[in-house]
Structure 1
Amino acid sequence: MQANELRDMSRDENGSDASTLPELSKVISVSWREIQVMVKKQHSARPRAILSDISGIARPGEMMALMGPSGCGKTTLLNTLAQRQAGSIVGQVCINGREQPRSVHRAVSAYVEQEDTLIGSLTTQETLRFAADFSISRSLSKHDLVARVRDLLNEFGLQKQARTLVGTPFRKGLSGGQKRRVSVAAQLIGNPSILYLDEPTSGLDSTASHEIMLFIKRFAKQHNLVVIASIHQPSTKTFDLFDQVTLLSQGKMCYSGSRRDMPNYFAELDLEIPPMMNPAEYLLDLVNIDFAYREEAQARLDYITTQWASSALHRKLIADVLDSTSSSSDKAIHLSPGSSTRPGIRKQLFTLLRRSFIKSYRDIVTYWIRLVMYLGLAIMMGTVWLRLTTTQKHIQPFANAIFFGSAFMSFMAVAYVPAFLEDRAIFIKERANGLYGPTVFLLTNFIIGIPYLFLISTLFSVVAYWLGNFNPNAHSFFMWVLWLFLDLLAAESLVVLVASLIPNFVGALAITAFANGLWMSVGGFLVPLPVLNVFWKYAFHYWDYQTYVFQGMMVNEFSDRTYDCTVVNGQCHCMYASALQDQCKIAGTAVLEQYGYAVGKQGQWLGIMVAIILGYRLTGWVVTVLRKT
């Protein structure tokens, strides 16, 4: 069956339904031939070779180790095999002897990242269940899904930790080895035929490393799974679990074949592995040129790579790769036209919404700490501007309080940066695995935030509004809540945009804080609009969301209130001239005129706020679509 008969799974990111994507019934081999990967140097027009003429073959039921010193290209090779590598790639990566589109690779394989990007506020069982919901089509019954989760918990020795939280900085959960087992089990939930592992023992002690690889070894044997893992300096026990080894250095092959044949091969090169020594450690030292006398080490490495290129084992490897390609007609992949692998975009959205909702109410960092922060701000504001009165001496304090409340509510939204970056890191991993795209991720992020931001706005207002004695009627109160809610929604949307552009905690925090400081400066309070510099007025003021929040709240407060002027020695002194001056009062509209705010434009301002929020979100979506990391 030709590749064009499959829909590329990358279309899922644009919203197409992947539920009819066929799946591979049986993987007989994964082979690669003469792989060469080039990347551009930062300060040079000439590209640099990361991998040069790499060939190999992996079969079901076996585990292959990709080994080599740091920077040798093992992770690049792993990503190339998994169809994840960027840059200029030459060569063939075949499944069952044929090059396949990315959709097939994703349908039959799973990839476990070096870092565990698990959601700490989910239990082990929930983690696997959500992985199943993302990975498996709706054709599988709920009973079968539960059984599959239960079986994986048992096979990976996690049944006692089924209801244990993965763990957050505030709540202890699984150990490092258990988290790694959960990461692997979550990728195996969809019954892949190929498992790629990037440094699966990273950060674990030798006992935990052996335990992880032993679980994977047993699973691979039992389910006839192809396992290809990049691994760094395994212990002897862990190294002995691998069936095949590919040894790289400086992007070149030093050996590829059976682990059992390695000692004899290197002995024939007069590089015999010393008895009672970890063979993996010895071989890594042998091909490492970073920490030895460079000329001697480079000469030794050149000798090893040259001998490998002319060896009988290398010729046999190439023959096996060519044989798998030439006989592909006999080992053809069989596609089931009616079967499905990934759920459609609707199920992706509902699954992510359920998972995000659980995370949002269990993880205190996402919204609950912010809620406490905002309540503290409300108490401070309400007690500083306590029981203001309708006299002209309190007109400016009322305006100051409105500015403080609206500006600092949005400024404190920078506290959302770490939570969004955490969610984004999980999205990047799951997007690379083809689970869902930017549309589902950002739509879920927007929907989940709405009730919490509304709750924050309401609780803040209940405290600050009535302590400060703002306009005492229900309509004005709820309009105040609405403006604060839109203020927070716009501020959080700005965080999403900035953190999508600069996915770095310090960078995103700094830029978001700077942007909010700019909005405060040009919003129309610190420098009223009639005297604001023309450049700042037209360059930033009109698309500053704090502008519309502040003037909307000012109109809400002053449009229908009156204030008593000061009487000194029987003479009435009014700060603002108005039609009520002969009554020794000031109409609130006179205050609004000083700021250049017209009454009756609240609907227009609300519309502009919605447009700004959507503009931030859509721009963030475009950035997320274009960025892959």
Structure 2
Amino acid sequence: MATFLEGVQIDEDDTKILYLNDHPITNPIQLRRICGFVAQEDSLLPLLTVKETLMFSAKFRLRSMSSKEKEERVERLMQELGLVHLAHSYVGDEETRGISGGERKRVSIGIDVIHDPLILLLDEPTTGLDSTSALQVIELLSSMARARQRTIVLTIHQPSYRILQYISSFLLLSHGSVIHNGNLELLEKTITDMGFNIPDQLNALEFAMEIIKPLEDLNPNSYLTITDTSEQGPYNMPWQAEFEAHQVIDDRQTGCCDSLRHIEVMSLCLRFWEIIYRTKQLFLARSMQAIVGGFGLGSVFLQVKTDEDGIAERLGLFAFSLSFLLSSTVEALPIYLQERHVLMKEASRGAYKISSYMIANTIIFIPFLLAVAILFALPVYWLVGLNPSFTAFAFFIFIVWLIVLMASSLYSS
């Protein structure tokens, strides 16, 4: 799949043009609009439900639709994916109990077909799944291709015979070269014509992997066959009208991107809040840490003197406070690392800008970090006996808040 993606990748500074059914694809935004890509690894937020995951994808990718239309699109998609009964189940991960691996893969597929792309690319969608789940995923993709009349391209290694029945055409590659392009019957005929007998325990594709060298040595023109495009089956429907419709939508959305920035930020703020609300124990621990740290440092530097020795003690207090505040944000690192994969995937799909993500992150976390700063400053400031004026106390809180905010930014960058 990586080799294939390199072939369809568009560089804005490149003079080469990619054509789709005689229509030029001139920019990456246009390509993202008509293509969906499902990576091998499922990059999902474990603390969101299945429906929430798809709804946020709809908010990012279907900005021109009303909220009701997005809701209806998600409901239909969950019905198509067989996820209706799991709508309110957490996606989960290794630490959080959630849906199964096959169901997670269906959610990943749903995220990248929410905008109904003309082409869907999948990188080894059956990897890591048991045989039953793998078959269910391939059955789903086959039914989607026929029902939506879309082209679906996937990479797969050693598929079972049952899986092969749902795939209409195979492209066999070796060292970047095409050694077969066509249906399974054509591959069987090619192998037979070469004088090989396919063992009963293997299908033609598995056996082709074992005789890959003879297939490479064969003259490509003797076996490379392109499917006749005159047959208007479910996989090669005329795309011109739909392609132009997608292009019009893409041009319209490109023009209003700046005016819709607030939608990105609001949606991301809502998603951040959902995740924070469901990790209350982590933030409760953060608050308790601030309180205990404040009382601990305050008791160590209890009522410092105002003479020269007191100045040295104050410097020690500030040094210990700085060290404590900078290290107190480490527990947030696993959450960010978990979200980073989702951020990179969604940003690469054009779902939102990274700057929107950072703005939303700041909006949500600033009030919380201010509360943490106050919980730390209250005991330590008055136990140590610093300047009793309200202005000085407020300035101390402000400095603590900036330090905590800076520390959080360091672990999130």
Q: TM-score scaled to structure 2, two decimals? A: 0.86
Which residue of structure 2 aligns with residue 214 of structure 1? Answer: 139
State how far apart, in whole Å, the 2-side matches of 1:373 and 1:84 are: 49
Give per-residue Cα distances to partners, 1:504-552, cap 9 Å, x unaligned.
xxxxxxxxxxxxxxxxxxxxxxxxxxxxxxxxxxxxxxxxxxxxxxxxx
Give the C-alpha shift of residue 253 in structure 1: 1.4
Which residue of structure 1 aligns with residue 33 of structure 2? Answer: 107
State how far apart, in whole Å, the 1-side matches of 2:163 and 2:246 are: 38
CA contact (8 A) 1:453 1:489 kept: yes
Give per-residue Cα distances to partners, 1:563-598, cap 9 Å, x unaligned.
xxxxxxxxxxxxxxxxxxxxxxxxxxxxxxxxxxxx
Is 1:125 the counterpart of 2:51? The answer is yes
State how far apart, in whole Å, the 1-side matches of 2:164 and 2:15 are: 30
CA contact (8 A) 2:191 2:208 kept: no
State how far apart, in whole Å, the 1-side matches of 2:112 and 2:274 are: 21
Q: Which is further off, 452-461 or 438-447?
A: 438-447
Is 1:486 the counterpart of 2:397? The answer is no
State how far apart, in whole Å, the 1-side matches of 2:92 and 2:228 are: 49
RMSD (Å) for aligned C-alpha atoms:
3.1
- Closer, same or farther in 2 for the Cα pair 1:364/1:179, shift >3 Å? farther
CA contact (8 A) 1:201 1:231 kept: yes
- Closer, same or farther in 2 for the Cα pair 1:216/1:491, shift >3 Å? same
State how far apart, in whole Å, the 1-side matches of 2:211 and 2:217 are: 15
Which residue of structure 2 aligns with residue 351 of structure 1? Answer: 267
**1:365-380 alignment runs, 5 A limit:** 369-380=285-296
CA contact (8 A) 1:378 1:461 kept: yes
- Closer, same or farther in 2 for the Cα pair 1:86/1:281, shift >3 Å? farther
Which residue of structure 2 aligns with residue 586 of structure 1? Answer: none
**1:134-533 alignment runs, 5 A limit:** 134-138=60-64, 140-168=65-93, 170-287=95-212, 301=213, 303-311=214-222, 313-314=223-224, 316-317=225-226, 333-335=243-245, 339=249, 340=252, 344-363=260-279, 369-388=285-304, 390=306, 394-496=310-412, 499=413
State how far apart, in whole Å, the 2-side matches of 1:142 and 1:454 are: 33
Give per-residue Cα distances to partners, 1:426-478, cap 9 Å, x unaligned.
12111221212232222223333212221211111123323333333332222
Give the C-alpha shift of residue 123 in structure 1: 0.8
- Closer, same or farther in 2 for the Cα pair 1:466/1:259, shift >3 Å? farther
CA contact (8 A) 1:365 1:419 kept: no
State how far apart, in whole Å, the 1-side matches of 2:180 and 2:136 are: 26
Instruction: Give identity over the alignment, percent.
Output: 26
Which residue of structure 2 aligns with residue 96 of structure 1? Answer: 21
Secondary structure of the 2:182 match is strand
- Closer, same or farther in 2 for the Cα pair 1:319/1:377, shift >3 Å? same
CA contact (8 A) 2:182 2:227 kept: no
Which structure is higher in helix share?
Answer: 2
- Closer, same or farther in 2 for the Cα pair 1:468/1:172, shift >3 Å? farther
State how far apart, in whole Å, the 1-side matches of 2:239 and 2:305 are: 89
CA contact (8 A) 1:366 1:419 kept: no
Give per-residue Cα distances to partners, 1:133-159, cap 9 Å, x unaligned.
111133x22222111111111111111
Give per-residue Cα distances to partners, 1:195-244, cap 9 Å, x unaligned.
11111112111111111111121111111111001122222222322111
Q: Which is further off, 116-125 or 466-475?
A: 466-475
AA aligned opposite 1:208: S
State how far apart, in whole Å, the 2-side matches of 1:465 and 1:169 are: 42
Which structure is higher in strand share?
Answer: 1
CA contact (8 A) 1:177 1:208 kept: yes
CA contact (8 A) 1:84 1:432 kept: no
AA aligned opposite 2:108: S
Give per-residue Cα distances to partners, 1:278-317, cap 9 Å, x unaligned.
4443333333xxxxxxxxxxxxx2x312425121x42x42
- Closer, same or farther in 2 for the Cα pair 1:88/1:364, shift >3 Å? farther
State how far apart, in whole Å, the 2-side matches of 1:237 and 1:372 are: 56
Secondary structure of the 2:328 match is helix
Secondary structure of the 2:173 match is strand
CA contact (8 A) 2:304 2:384 kept: yes
State how far apart, in whole Å, the 2-side matches of 1:318 and 1:236 are: 22
Which sections of structure 1, spanning at least 5 residues, go unmatched? 1-73, 288-300, 322-328, 500-629
- Structure number, greater radius of gyration: 1
Give the C-alpha shift of residue 117 in structure 1: 0.8
State how far apart, in whole Å, the 2-side matches of 1:365 and 1:100 are: 49
AA aligned opposite 2:150: L
State how far apart, in whole Å, the 1-side matches of 2:102 and 2:167 are: 19
